[in-house]
Each structure stands twice: as structure tokens, then as C-alpha cells.
Structure 1
Amino acid sequence: MTATAAPTVDTVESVEIVPSFVRDAWWTPDLGSEAGAAPVLDASTGELLALVSSAGLDLAAVVDYGRTTGQAELGKLTFHQRALKLKELAQYLNGRREEFYALSAQTGATRIDSMIDIDGGIGVLFTFGSKGRRELPNSQVVVDGPMEVLSRDGSFAGEHIYTRIPGIAAQINAFNFPVWGMLEKLAPAFLAGVPTIVKPATPTGYVAAGVVKAIVESGILPNGSLQLVSGSVRTLLDHLDYRDLVAFTGSAATANTLKSHPNVVTGGVRFTSETDSLNAAILGPDAVRGTPEFDAFVKSLVTEMTAKAGQKCTSIRRAIVPQELVPDVVAAVGERITERVVLGDPRAEGVTMGALASREQLADVRAAVQSMLDAGGELAYGTLDSPAVTRADGSTGVVDDGAFMSPVLLSWADPEADEVHSLEAFGPVSSVLGYTNLADAVRLAARGGGSLVASVCTNDPDVARELVTGIAAHHGRVLMLNREDARSSTGHGSPVPHLVHGGPGRAGGGEELGGIRSVMHHMQRTAIQGSPNMLTAVTGVWHTGADRNFTLETEDRHPFRKSLSTLHIGDAVRSGLREVSLEEITAFANSTGDTFYAHTNQDAAAANPFFPGIVAHGYLLLSWAAGLFVEPAPGPVLANYGLENLRFVTPVAAGDSIRVTLTAKKITPRETDEYGEVAWDAVLTNQNDEIVATYDVLTLVEK
């Protein structure tokens, strides 16, 4: 990616316009277009920070650049090479976090809030940089599942493969996590080989732009792989088709509008969304006041109410507790907030909770809370009045232009009220609901209509089983919290890149994360059919029935004498026969202690329908197989590090013989080491050419 300086454009107010980065250059609207630009204010002070506009931007050209230059440049790299770039980028951004923290503070985020966003986003890059090299091949095609034989003679077969979609990933992000929201979508798309167009939310988009500026300056990413549009993208979907993907995070109302676009409804644009979520935390009946589980529950609830000022899609909106424990929970939550929460400008020392992202957001949250109060909710803690806060200079008072709000806890005499299960106040707001039994708790949790996450806090395994199995289908993730993991848990509201982040129903029905699963969202699964040779050619993995290149067992021809530079898929060796004797079976049984009757007792073994009498141990046969195919002298093969897919098929009795056929099945060079992995297809057969065992031998081989 070409590194250029981000320009500034002077307006009549001498306020910078947040730039876009498109077609590998920084872009801002023409002078004079600022009249239609959206102002961005400091969340704590109301100071005008910047203007945002995309007026005049050619979105069709942006999409085309991603589909052409971006696709071409990413197509030059394998999964492992892309993964290494993600790791390199994470290391680079890690060194510039202080710059990002300063920008983030202007959004109302405390230092800890900023770490969740910034460090969390960088952590996603590290994770996919690692998982891409460990779980994907060093190629551009992923094989999905085993080969299916489609003809009697094995000449026609099929299987499934994944290849990247040929378009772009348009990523429309929410205001609450301008860095994590961008990087957690960028990482799997980049690893899949799909160019990204990022559209951050206007109130905090300048933070995303600051990170993109650093990414551009790093020069790590290929041209066209990342573009940023600051401002409106109302016509973006007009330029997309079945080749492209839209990943949206935001309100359900906006998601529904986007999903109704003709190019989504009939044009085949892939659309995933993560939207509103009325997440629940359920307290088990065993978790009474004084237990570690009760304390963990209260701590989690207060954390989720106040972290990012409650502006998290994963925050706990409904605390579902035994009816008799409602007063205890309300009291404990109020006590913890009073003791630990200091509201104010995040740049002031000692502040633990900052402002909402904007005055507009504050108005929306207050309106939602008022609607819940009108529907029967009662203020158990907090107020809707403007709170006194700590200012940046350390003084205390009401900041009229700030977006500050007191934490609010609501109680409900009627837990069935529709509003508590349908209205999301996207701020420091939660409700406590009482349940009568576990089935009632499950039912109340499910009334959220599909959620991203729920917590179950109990130390009773039976309670955990009933609650989790009852609510799982309504949620994308369930945290089980007890005294054993309370300290080590990443928390209710912290998605991790290894596991699914998404949820059914109201939550949008998507899965933004989930390890390599999220990479596959950006790829097309295709069934391919043909001969084993053709399947091998397409996938780069040897298939049973494909040609083998049998070599002699001499020092210069044995496959184990070949480095990665001379070894080819299909190189194979077939050993001679080795006869199995009863004495050897008995000796193996005695030396290992494996005296299972099938190996030691003729009458008992013969009575077993699977055995003809005493048979050889499977592991004895594997050991002999190694002796039949291993080249003993030092050479390119450095180590055997395991077996996969082992199956024993036909028993071997005394007097039978075995041989092994070993074929180079998959070759995976390591980008950063002087060796790679080779998977060998191993087949043991007897003197009648019946298959005795099949497995893959894994070795490390010098390049």
C-alpha cells in the first residue's frame, strides 16, 4: 500500500475534514462542500473536532478498484503470507497505541474503554495471524471434507473446496468500537483474500481514520486491500452484486433497510449483520448473597453497565434473578456503582466512566429509559437528570455540552412488560427481573428475540445444564460464570476472535467472528467433480486413485531423501512384505503390558466376531510399518510429529504379512522457517492386498 500524507482541508471554521482513503490515495471533498458536512464533537466538552463528508466521492470507482487492484494484489499471496502480514501489522499498530488512545479519549472513552477497543482490535489481528498459519494451508484453496467416490472403479469422485469471493467486503461499522469493529472485520476478510471497504460511523469515524492513516504509513498491506470511506455511503449497495459481501453492525432498523435493497433481495449480495441485542445475565438460585457467584454476577453487571458507558452491543440489558433475590441484587449493584464509578471526562485522573459518544446518543438513551419508565419500570438506581461530573481540569460540575449520563438500574414489578424485552437503551442502563423457576428464567431470556450473549452464573452443574441448554438456541454465545473461572474469564461483554460473535433473530443472524469460520464467510464453497488426478491438480492435495510416482528405496530416490524443493505430490514408496509371527505378538504384549485377550487368548479371541483368533496389536503393526518405510540415514526429514485419521480395518493374524505404501499427500512450506510439513498417505495392506490400516504420517522436512 503506498504511504502518503493525509491531507487537511481548511474550511471557513478552519476545522479539518476527516479524509477518506480510496484507490490508494487520501481524498477529501472539494472546498465549499463543507456546508453539507456533518460536525463531530468532543463527547465530553462539546468542542467541534472535525467535519465529515463524502460528497462527490465516486463510490463505483472505489468498488471497482477493490475488485481489480485489490483482488489482484491479494491473489498473489497464500493464506500463510496474508497471515504473516496481519501479524506484522498488529506489531506495528501495537507501537502506536498511545496516538490512538488520545483520539479515543475524545469519544468519551476512558483508558480502559480505549484498551478494549484498540488493544482488542490489535489482538484480533494477532489471533488471525496465528490461526491462519496453524489452521489453513499455505495455498489459496481450502479442502472441505473428504473425497466422495462417485463411481465403482474410483475414476470419478467429488469433494468440496473453498475459494475467495471475487468481489469486495463492504464493512459498515458502529460508533461504539471504531477500532475493534474495523479490525475484527478486516482480519478475516484479508486472510480470505478479499479487499475491504470500511465505512465507520460518523461520530467516531475520525478514530478509525487515524488507525487507517497508521496502516497506510506502515506500507504492510497490498494496494487495494483496504479502503476507507468517511461519510455517507447511501448509494454503495447500488454498485454491488453477487460477488460482494456487506458486513453491517448497527441498529436493526438500518439493517432491515439495507437488506431490502434490490441488490441484496434479488442481486445476490451477501449480507451479514450484527444488530440490536437485549442480552441477559441469569443468576442461579444457588447464588445467594455471600457466595462467589453472587459477587461475580454483581461485578459483571456493573462492569457491563459502565464500560464504554454501556455502549456495547454485548452489554447486559436484563438481569434475570430469583424473585426473592431481587432486593439483594438491586442493593449490591447500587453499592458497587456508588463505591467504584467516577463519572467524568476520561482525560481527568480517577475517572472510571466517560460520556456517551454524542449528545444525540444521550437523547436517544434518555428517551428509551423514559419509555420504559412509562411502561412500568422504576428507577432503582440513578437519574435522568444531568449529573455532576469530573471535568478535565479536575473540577466538578454539570457540563451542559457533554454527553454524560448517570448509570441507571431499573426494577420491574411486572417482568412480562413488553418494553423491557423490546427496547434497548444503548447506554449505562440495565433492568432487574425476577423469575419463579428455571423454566421461567429460560422463557424470560428468550423473550429478547435472539441475542448476542447471555451469562449463566451458578455453581450447580444441574442448574447450568438446564439453563444453558434452554437458552442456547436463542443466543450466539453463553458464558458460564462461577467461582472457578470468575478471575480468568474474559467476561460477559468481551467477544473473542476464536469464538462466534453474532446471534440469531433480533441480533442479526450473523457470525462476524468464530475463528476460521469467519474467514469462510468470505469464501464460496463449491462442489468439484472429476478424476482423482484432476481433484489433485485443483487442490494441491493427493487423492486416492491419483497417479503415484513410485521411487526406489535407494539413498537418492527414497522420498525421505528429498527436500521440499525436490519432493512432489504423489511421490511414493511401496515396501516389501513382512510376516507376522505369534512369538512377536506375544513379546509385544508382554513388553508393553497390553495383554488384551485378542492378543493373548486364542479361544477368547476366536469367540469374538471381529477376530479369527489371536491377532497382532494395531500399534505393533504401525511400528513395523515405520520400519518398512523409514529411511534411517540423516537427511531432509527432521522429525515425525504425529499421525492423523488412523483407522484399523482388517485384523492381522499370525502367519499373515503386511506391507506399507507411503505417498506424499500434502506439502506445506513454512514462510518463516527453513522447513515445512509433509503429510504422507499411509496404507497398510496384507498379503491379499486387503487394507489393514489407513492413516496420515506427519513429518517436518527441510526446504
Structure 2
Amino acid sequence: MSIQQINSFVAEEWLAPAEGARPISSAITGAVMAEAGNDALDTTAMLAHARAHGGPALRAMTFHQRAKMLKALALYLGERKQALYDISFDTGATQSDHLIDIDGGIGTLFVFASKGRRELPDAHIYLDGGLEQLGREGRFLGQHVCTSLQGVAVHINAFNFPVWGMLEKLAPSFLAGVPAIVKPATSTCYVTELAVRMMLESGILPEGALQFVAGGLGDMLDHLGAQDVVAFTGSADTALKLRGHPNLLSNSVRFAAEQDSLNASILGPDVTPEAPEFDLFVKEITREMTAKAGQKCTAIRRIIAPQGLVQPVIEAVSARLATTRIGDPRDPATRMGALVSTAQRDDVLAKAALIGSEAERVFGDPDDLPMSGQGGFVSPLLFHCADPDAARRVHDTEAFGPVSTVMGYRDPDHAVTLANRGGGSLVTSLITRDGDVARQVVLGAGAWHGRIYINNADSMKESTGHGSPMPHMVHGGPGRAGGGEELGGIRGVMHYMQRTAVQGSPDILTAIGGRWVPGAREIKGPAHPFTRRYGELSIGETLHTGAREISLDDIEHFAQFTGDTFYAHMDEDAAARNPFFPGRVAHGYLLLSFAAGLFVEPNEGPVLANTGLDNLRFMKPVQAGDSIRVRLSVKAKTPRSAEYGEVRWHVTLFNQADETVAEYELLTMNAF
């Protein structure tokens, strides 16, 4: 059998293993199948290449261009994922495990691509929050902005997800405009290398955006600076060593860790063995014990059930585990494959023995190794801890494999206490239909867990599962889970950006942010703005309308026509008793309707649709005899397709005394 050479990609060149190379064994057979590592890698050249080429190229692109790049990568990988499936079997993963890793990673690219287009501007600067008025008359303002870091993201990934683990870090990094150097765990780096080759061969990424290290990082951490980021997934011990690196500390290098996690699942006190939620609880547990052979950072390690249901839970989980077929992951009938290596198998069994010193083993035999003991195969092991309050190891020992412990609780507060004994987790789940119990658990456990997954018969058909981090939500957790927040949509992108407080005049903030700020210079267009196409409109282009008087007949007609006969519009005495009104007032929506009548151009033109309004505020009531006029300004523009773009208009309604009576942002789709 030939030994595969796993290469590193350094400054646009593939380098073969050399001195310092380590052997890689098949999880199925235990035989050496590949080698990776090269102690002579020039890490300073890698960093310099990323900073000189990858960073500037990515930062030159807008958020939308980077989002399109992510979508193109996802499509490209999706067309070639069979090759990734085929090579992944040697990691011990089954076909269903491949879907979690490979399809999950590709799906994460799609999500960030979509969020980048929908939630970020087609620009280089992200505006974080609203304006802050720092001067009395609004001539000096503040705005928080986020810009791309000008360094390199060093991504250090775990062995269990060689594709998803890489892509879930690359997606927010690339969307932020920061190049990456990927260093996967050596034991499964051959899968990551193939995915990297695919992305590089696609021609989608600019030069220097992506480099790859197979093996050790060498002295790379010694050369990082304040603009760089280290994102790590792995053990707490390794995270502690990396986090404490003198150079990272002295340069305040951003460091994010997603590490050990003693995740728990709680069965609500309202659930009975006959309820569908009980079966759901059991299915979640067995799935999390056997998917990826339990090698998931989100797997359920502690099963917390009401005291009276401990034995039924043990029996039900054991019965399902007994039907789990363990074997060669290439066999479609196999439901659980192997641990990644014999070394990992030995570590899991050693950790299980520690748990066994405080808990009784109720299912599985550590001495009965499937597949005649070859490779990393091991049977699921279920324990029961009769005294979880006195136990220590069941709450701080993570056997990173198909190992879990059942324990009983007295009441919801006790369940929360047990869940929190893990010292911080990525996820705790709760199976209940009781909203009060759910609230009690969130209040008591929220501070210790990055995600609380609550499920019952109402949501179980659509739920994504206890162990599935979704790119829309933060993935991370406090305490022993690392304290980081990977993913989370745009929150994950912000990890690779710098938030800066910018202060200045309305004109200055308009120029920086690309969004018109009230008080900034107004541009008078050559024609009504609704007659002009998307590309012809300028930020700040403003229309001032004539005035329209509001009559009592208008108010009464609007009330009868719409059915909105609220007393403030119809009863003078009752309205006068309301501290908000001087007497009868016009409907707010009447004002909006009349405002549209003042600024809308009725003829067919480039305005295709009104898609909504945001941030509507009514500041001052309008009475019969008052008049209103409108200021309509182009606030921002965002392309949405090849045919049209979204125009955000700032709309302000003034009364006859030039006082602001209402304000909102109107959204229209305009043809290019």
C-alpha cells in the first residue's frame, strides 16, 4: 500500500512532507496510509504572502462581492463532494456522518453568502448601530463602524470535522475580508487538503486568500501581531497552551477557542414515558452518542432525568443502543463507525474508566471491541451516576466518544445545578412542553451555556437537533467551553473586524458610511427621483414637496373608510383627557397615506415596488387645520439582483411650523 503524501500550500506553492513528518493511520484498519508535516515550512513567508496579497485583494472587494465568492465556492464544492465522501471513510465516518461534515460545511458557506447579501451593505464599511447625537443641534455626531482587520486569520481545527471545521471558520473570515491560513488536525488533514485543493483549483479565491498547513505550525504564532486572529477548536489543554503564548499575550492577538464541553440534556418534569417527548429525548441521546462515534464537541455527555424516570431512560436508551450496528463505515448498513484512531480509542476508554469510578456502567463493555479490535472501533458505553451531587469526574471528564452518563434530579433547580456543574458548555438541551420550566432553565442555566436547545412534539419535526450548530446562531460557550462565539451569522463576521467610534459632521459621516445622515448636504436631482433609475440616483438626493392641509373631514372620512374609530380621532373630550393629545388628532396612517400622495410619481417608471418601511416614529400630533409637507431623501442603495436594487429613502414629515411630526425609512425596488 502506497503512503499518501499530504502537502502544505505555502505562498502559492505545494510543499511535500519532509523532516518532522508524522504517519497517519486509517481509522478502519489501523494501518499507516499517509504522512504529513514539514518542519522547514517558512511561516514568515506565509504570513507575509497573506498580508501582502490575500488581505488587500479581499479588502478591495465589497461585502456583497465576498458573499458571491462564498456562494461560488459552495456550489463548486457541492459539485465535487462525492470525492470528499470517498476519502472521508478512512476517518471512521459513515455516510450519514459525511453529511454532517461535508454537506454541513457547504451549507454554512451558503448561509454566510446569503446573510452577507441580505444583512451587509454592498460596501467596505459596516455601520454598527445607529447615530449618536453628540451636539445639541445635530451638527456633531457619532457612529460606530466596523472595518476589516489588516492581518491574517490562523485557523487551527480539530480532527472530527475536517471539512465543516474549516469552512465554518473560513466563511466569516472571508466575508470580513481577512485571508486565512488553515491548519487542520494531522490525523484527518488528508480530507481537508482535498477540499483546499478544490477551492484553489476553482480560481474563485484571490491569490493569498487561503494557505494550508499539513502538520505542525512551527513558529507561526511567534510572528503574529495585533491585526491577526487565532481561531482554535480542540482540547482545553491545547487551548490553554495557545492562549498563553507570550507573543499572543504581548500583542493582544485576538484568540477564540471552542474547546471541551460536558454538554447535558434535561428531560422536563412534565414528560411521562408515554409522551412523544420521552421518545424524542431517547432518540436525541442515542443519535448524539453514535453520530461520528460520539466525536462531536456538541455530543450529550450527561443525561439529566427526573429521579423517577432514571430507570426507564436507562432501559430505553440501552434498547436503542443495542440495535446500533457498528462496523466498517463503507457498509451502508453500518450506523456507527470507528473513532479516528487507536490512540483516540485508548483515550476514550481511559476517560470512561475515570467516569466508571463514580458511576455504574449499565450498557456496553469496554473490553468487547468490535471488528476484532482493529482500528478505532469501540462500543457505546452508558453509565448511571446515583449521586451526581457528590460526583466530580462525571462533570469534568469528557470521554470524546460514544460515552454518556445518566443522573437523576429532584426538581428543575436541581437539574439546572447539575447542568451547570460542567463548568460551561456549548449546548444544553431541554425536552419539555412546559413554558414555565423552559423559562426557569434558561434563567438558571443561560449564563453557563452557549446554546439552550428546547424541543417538544410541537417543534420536533422541524428541529435541527441537539448537536447541530447552525451558522445563524452563535457556536461557543463560556467557561471550559472556551468563551468564544464562532458562527452566529454577522456576529461571527465581526470577530474578524475592528469596531471604531467615528465622530464628525453629518456630511463627514455620510461620506464615510455611504448612507445619508439627516443634516448632511442635500442634492437636488434633475427630475423627480421616482422617474430615475437605480444607477442614476445619488446618496443624499432630496425632494421637498408642497404642503397639504389636514381637515376634520379628512380625519372622519379616514376613520369611517378604514374602520379605525379610535377615540383620539373621533371624541374631542376623550382625546383631550389623554396626556399625549391636545384634542382630536389625525391618524398616523392617514399622515403616511397623505405623505405618499405628496411625493409619489404616479406614472409607470423605474420604481417597481414598495417593499416596506422601517423605523417609523410619530413625534408630534397633527390636528385638523394643520398642514404637512415631506422631505424625501435617498438614504442608501443596495443591489438585489441583476435587474433591480433596493433604495432606502429617508422620509420626514414636517408641520406648518417646520416641526417634525413623523419620520421613517421607505424601501423600494428600483430598476437598474
Query: Could you say which TM-score interval applies, normalised by the shorter chain?
Result: over 0.9
Normalised by the length of structure 2, the TM-score is 0.98
What amino acid does structure 1 have at the position aligned with 2:365?
Answer: T
From 347, 355, 367, the equivalent of 2:330 is 347
Q: Report 1:224-623 matches (<5 A).
A: 224-339=208-323, 341-373=324-356, 375-389=357-371, 398-400=372-374, 402-416=375-389, 417-551=391-525, 557-623=527-593
Q: Deviations over 1:339-381 (max 9, x none)?
A: 2x111110124111000001111111111111222x3221110
Q: 1:578: Cα distance to partner?
A: 0.6
Q: 1:55: Cα distance to partner?
A: 1.8
Q: 1:187: Cα distance to partner?
A: 0.4
Q: 1:311: Cα distance to partner?
A: 0.3
Indicate the residue corresponding to 2:636 in structure 1. Answer: 666
Question: Cα–Cα, structure 1 residues 540 and 349, in superposed 2: closer, same or farther, change >3 Å?
Answer: closer
Q: 1:152: Cα distance to partner?
A: 2.2
Q: 1:611: Cα distance to partner?
A: 1.5
Distance 1:143 1:175 in 2: 37
Distance 1:561 1:59 in 2: 57
Q: Does the 8 Å contact 1:45/1:399 carry over to 2?
A: no
SS at match of 1:459: coil
Q: Does 2:16 match 1:28?
A: yes
Distance 1:76 1:327 in 2: 61
SS at match of 1:526: strand
Q: Percent identity?
A: 56
Distance 2:460 2:624 in 1: 57
From 618, 642, 645, the equivalent of 1:676 is 645
Question: Cα–Cα, structure 1 residues 485 and 616, in superposed 2: closer, same or farther, change >3 Å?
Answer: same
Q: 1:197: Cα distance to partner?
A: 0.8
Indicate the residue corresponding to 2:655 in structure 1. Answer: 686
Q: Does the 8 Å contact 1:580/1:655 carry over to 2?
A: yes
What amino acid does structure 2 have at the position aligned with 1:176?
Answer: N
Q: 1:14: Cα distance to partner?
A: 4.8
SS at match of 1:372: helix
Indicate the residue corresponding to 2:5 in structure 1. Answer: 17
Q: Report 1:137-286 matches (<5 A).
A: 137-286=121-270
Q: Report 1:60-209 matches (<5 A).
A: 60-209=44-193
606-615 or 277-286, which deviates more: 606-615
Q: Does the 8 Å contact 2:27/2:338 carry over to 1?
A: yes
Q: 1:154: Cα distance to partner?
A: 2.2
Supply the RMSD in Å over aligned alpha carbons: 1.2
Unaligned stretches of 5+ in structure 1?
A: 1-12, 390-397
Q: Does the 8 Å contact 1:151/1:157 carry over to 2?
A: yes
Q: Does the 8 Å contact 1:365/1:427 carry over to 2?
A: yes
Q: Does the 8 Å contact 2:6/2:17 carry over to 1?
A: no
Distance 1:205 1:99 in 2: 15
SS at match of 1:627: helix
From 643, 648, 653, the equivalent of 2:618 is 648
Q: Does the 8 Å contact 1:585/1:616 carry over to 2?
A: yes
Distance 2:474 2:17 in 1: 38
Q: 1:495: Cα distance to partner?
A: 0.5
Q: Does the 8 Å contact 2:143/2:501 carry over to 1?
A: yes
Distance 1:471 1:314 in 2: 16
From 56, 60, 63, the equivalent of 2:40 is 56
Distance 1:190 1:93 in 2: 16
Q: Does 2:669 match 1:700?
A: yes
Q: Does the 8 Å contact 2:643/2:671 carry over to 1?
A: yes
SS at match of 1:379: strand
**Number of residue pairs matched by the alignment:** 671
Q: Does the 8 Å contact 2:39/2:218 carry over to 1?
A: no
SS at match of 2:426: strand
SS at match of 1:659: strand
Q: Deviations over 1:564-586 (max 9, x none)?
A: 22211111010111111101111
